[in-house]
Amino acid sequence: MPDRRIVLVTGASQGIGAATARAFAAAGHAVVLAARDAAKLAAVADELGPAATPVATDVTDPASVEALFARIRDQHGRLDVVFNNAGANIPATLTGDISYADWRKVVSVNLDGAFLIASGAFRLMREQAPQGGRIINNGSISAHVPRYGSAPYTASKHAITGLTRSISLDGRAFSIACGQIDIGNAASDMTARMVAGVPQADGTLAPEPRIDVAHVARAVVQMADLPLDVNVQFMTIMATNMPFIGRG
């Protein structure tokens, strides 16, 4: 794998994605930024300068994802690392009260979108010379245990673990490594509600500690910096005092 890598970050317009894009750019890599909000994406790209290429992308739309990889192929000729990070959620809702529309809203981004990005990256990494690359999927603490009222999110993140394992197996012959980072309470817009309190397993509300997204970004870059014959299969990074060990 080259020292200066071509890196794709999805969900790159804010939160963990934007922080990770900054970390990759600071490490000297070229970063392709993908997200739906073109204005937010452009603002991140302006901050990062010539190392960044913003490509407005809807990860749930196969045609949009295909256009993203065509742009990467045309501009860079290869892809070395993907941080498969785009995600969505809904407020805590009991399983019987979740609408199918809300179910699809979460699953289409978190699972369908992750598959479309991974599939496109796999094809490009398999055909390029030298062959290979690394796909890092954003799992979650919820890939292990659920939060109260989180059926769509938890189901999608459990499925990400299966996707990660399948890509790892399928990619062996092509020097494609795949790992997963399971993140607990990184400070972002998605976790802002945790400061005031979120539902716990016993139905009560309680605030939860969060960690700076910069720590998550550094961990992703560390995973990506390994040679392709070495892989962090699963990493958990979390606020030390958040309810994970012993949740429920």
- d(Cα 45, Cα 37) in Å, to the nearest integer? 12
Dihedral sign (CA 74, 171, 182, 93): positive
Q: Which amino acid is at 176?
A: I
Three-state SS sequence of 76-97:
HCCCCEEEECCCCCCCCECHHH
User: Across-strand partners of 244?
Assistant: none
Active site residue 153: yes
Dihedral sign (CA 197, 101, 34, 174): positive
Q: Are 82 and 88 in contact (CB under 8 A)?
A: no
Pairing type for strands 176-184 and 198-199 reads: unpaired
Where does the chain show beta strands of DSSP type E?
6-10, 30-35, 52-56, 81-84, 133-138, 176-184, 198-199, 205-206, 234-238
153, 154, 163, 213: the active-site residue:
153
- Tell me which residues are annotated as active site: 153
